[in-house]
Structure 1
Amino acid sequence: MKNIADLFCQRKLQKMLSQSLSYSAIATAGIVASVIVSGKVNAQTPQPVNSNEIVSYAQAVLAMEPARQQAFDEIKKLMGDREIPKIVCNDSKSISTLPKKAQDIAVNYCKHSQKIVEDNGLTIERFNKITVDLQNDNDLKRQISNTLIRIQNPAKNP
C-alpha cells in the first residue's frame, strides 16, 4: 500500500514541478522580451499566432532560460548590493549603466538570445509581438503553457 501512496505523491510532485517550470518559463518570456527587444512591435493588423509559432516560442523561451539565469547571476555578483537595473538590449543606455564586465555579459546574452529566437524559426519582432499578446490573451497563455509542459515531458505527451 505504501508503494501506491509513494507513486501517487511522486506523480503529483512531477505534475507540480512541470506546471511550476511552465509558469516560470512564461514569466521568463515577459522578462526576456524586455531584455531582447531589438525592433518595434508592429502596430498594424494583428496577426494570429499559429501552432508552429507557439511551439517555436515555447522552445525559444526554454532554451533561453539557462543563459538568462546565468547572465543574471553573473551580473548580480558583479553588482554586489546595488540594484540591477532593467536591461533592454536595444537600449544602449540601459546597458551602459552597468559596470564594464556586466555590460559584456548583457551584450553576450542579448546576442545569444537573439540567435536562439531565430534558430527556433521566429524573428525578434515576432517573438516580442507574441510576448506582448501573451500578456493580454489568456487563451494564448494557456496554449503556450500547455506546449511548455509537453516539451518538458515528452515521454508523457507523445
Structure 2
Amino acid sequence: MQKILAKTLFFSISASASLLVSTGNLKANAQNQSFNNNEITSYAQAVLAMEPERQQAFGEIKKIVGNGEVPQIVCSEPNSLNNLPGRARDIAVNYCNHSQKIVSDYGLTPDKFNRMTVEIQSNADLKQQVYNALIRLQKNTNSQ
C-alpha cells in the first residue's frame, strides 16, 4: 500500500512541479546538479505537503473549466495564470503562493526546488533517491 501511494505521489511530482516551474530556462542550469540527503528529504517533504492542495486546486479548476482541458499552469509564468477564467486564476494563484511557502518551510528556495524537479526528469539516480525518501517519510508517518 505504501509503495502504491509513493508511486502515485511520485507521479504527481510532475503535476505539482508544473504549477511551480518553467522548465525552459532551468534545463541548462539543472544538469549535473548534485543534491545532498537533506535537500532530497526536504524536497520529498514539500511534495508530500503540496499534494493534497494540488489535487484540490486542480479539481476546483477542472470544475470551473468544465469539459475543456485544464491548461498547464506555471507559477513563474504569469501568462499561464492570466489565461485562466477569473475564479480559476484565483485558485491557481493561491496554490502557487502557498506552494512557495511550503517549499520555503522545508528549507528550500523555489529555485532549488525547481532545479531538483527538472533534474529528476533526466536523472534516474536522483529520481530513485526521491522515491526512497517518499517511502521512508510515509512509513514514518504511518508508524506514528
Tell me the equivalent position of 1:135.
121
Which residue, 129, 133, 144 being the options, matches 1:147?
133
Question: Which segments of 5 or more consecutive residues in structure 2 lack a partner in the other structure?
Answer: none
Tell me the equivalent position of 2:18.
34
Q: TM-score, normalised by structure 2?
A: 0.89
- Identical amino acids, percent of aligned pairs: 50
Please say if 1:102 is aligned against 2:79.
no
C-alpha separation in 2, matches of 1:44 and 1:140: 12
Given that 1:18 and 1:149 are in contact with CA atoms closer than 8 Å, whether structure 2 keeps it comes out as: yes
Sort the Cα spacing of 1:99 and 1:44 in 2 relative to 1 into closer, same or farther, 3 A: closer
Sort the Cα spacing of 1:130 and 1:91 in 2 relative to 1 into closer, same or farther, 3 A: same
Larger gyration radius, structure 1 or structure 2: 1
Aligned length: 142
C-alpha separation in 1, matches of 2:77 and 2:88: 15
Question: Which segments of 5 or more consecutive residues in structure 1 lack a partner in the other structure?
Answer: 1-16
Q: After superposing the two structures, state which structure 1 stretch, 125-134 or 19-28, moved more.
A: 19-28
C-alpha separation in 2, matches of 1:116 and 1:76: 23
Superposition CA RMSD, Å: 2.2
Sort the Cα spacing of 1:72 and 1:45 in 2 relative to 1 into closer, same or farther, 3 A: closer
User: Which SS does the other structure have where 1:153 is aligned?
Assistant: helix
Which residue, 113, 128, 132 being the options, matches 2:99?
113
Tell me the equivalent position of 1:9.
none
Q: After superposing the two structures, state which structure 1 stretch, 112-121 or 128-137, moved more.
A: 128-137
